[in-house]
Amino acid sequence: MIYVSIDIETSGLDPLLHKTLSIGAIVEDTTKKLSWNEIPKFNAVIVQNEITGSPRALSMNKKIIEQIGVYLEGTSDERLKLAMSAQCDFYEKEDVIKEFYKFLWKNGFGEGEVPVIGSNTKPIAINVAGKNFGTFDKLFLQQLPWWQKIIRARQRVLDPAILFCDWKNDESLPSLTVCKDRAGLHGLVTHDALEDAWDVVEVLRKFY
């Protein structure tokens, strides 16, 4: 199976009020299990001119917000240096899903040259993995231009929580931190979109 592990960082919990700040995505082929250095990765910060958010979310994503500020005020050379040092790309919200589409096309979801994206572009259908993707991330992504036109996330989502549930002692489904611990993986959940997407891949790999 090929799936795309997706995680986002946002300025709050309300998809109609708050902003998507970054998107991390990894294309996983369960028959190959490539290393971090080899696996296809999409790491994007979305340039927002105005950001409304909750104190907790803004504090957690302080670094991303600072990077957006530097990008908005920087010259072309400064923006290039920022992208290289941050190891991510910066996109306007009107373009980020188009770039995600191109990334998917180039990594197994299309053949030949990437098509010009327009109203008649055929959507790409993907299996998605993610912690709370269906009830959180997807709601935010749907607010971005082009998502609902050119990306089709299949209804069944690969959420690792169900695989690491302690049916006798848990009162709710485990967090990604708990899933990592129960999978025997070291390191904290960083709340960096790309790193969290990789965490999901790693815990799911315990089952294939």
Q: pLDDT-based confidence at 187, cuts 50/70/90?
A: confident
Nearest CA to 57 out of 109, 95, 21 is that of 21
Give percent above pLDDT 90 in the chain: 97
Tell me the pTM: 0.95
Question: What pLDDT does residue 189 have?
Answer: 80
How many angstroms separate the CA atoms of 147 and 163, rounded? Answer: 29
A 10 A CB-CB count for 29 gives 14
- Enumerate the domain spans of the chain: 2-92+128-141+157-207
Question: What pLDDT does residue 16 have?
Answer: 96
Task: Say yes or no to pLDDT of 6 above 90.
Answer: yes
pLDDT in tens, 12-60: 999 999 999 999 999 999 999 999 999 999 999 999 999 999 999 999 9
Residues 118-142, mean pLDDT to the nearest whole number: 96
Query: Would strands 128-129 and 41-47 be described as parallel, antiparallel, or unpaired?
Result: unpaired
Task: Say yes or no to pLDDT of 186 above 90.
Answer: no
Residues 123-132, mean pLDDT to the nearest whole number: 97
Measured distance between the N- and C-terminal CA atoms of the chain, rounded to whole angstroms: 10
Residue 107 makes CB contacts below 8 A (sequence gap 6+) with: 27, 40
Whole-number average pLDDT of the chain: 96
Question: What pLDDT does residue 197 have?
Answer: 98
In CATH terms, the superfamily for domain 2-92+128-141+157-207 is Ribonuclease H-like superfamily/Ribonuclease H (3.30.420.10)
Tokens of 207: 């089952």
Q: pLDDT-based confidence at 191, cuts 50/70/90?
A: confident
pLDDT in tens, 153-170: 999 999 999 999 999 999
Question: What pLDDT does residue 136 have?
Answer: 97
Q: Rounded to an integer, what is the distance from CA 121 to the centroid of its chain?
A: 22
Residues 20 and 65: beta-carbon distance below 8 Å = no
Q: How far is CA 25 from CA 20, 50, 56, 99, in A?
A: 14, 24, 24, 12
Question: What pLDDT does residue 190 have?
Answer: 84
Q: Is residue 27 packed enough to be buried (19+ CB in 10 Å), middle (13-18) or exposed (0-12)?
A: buried
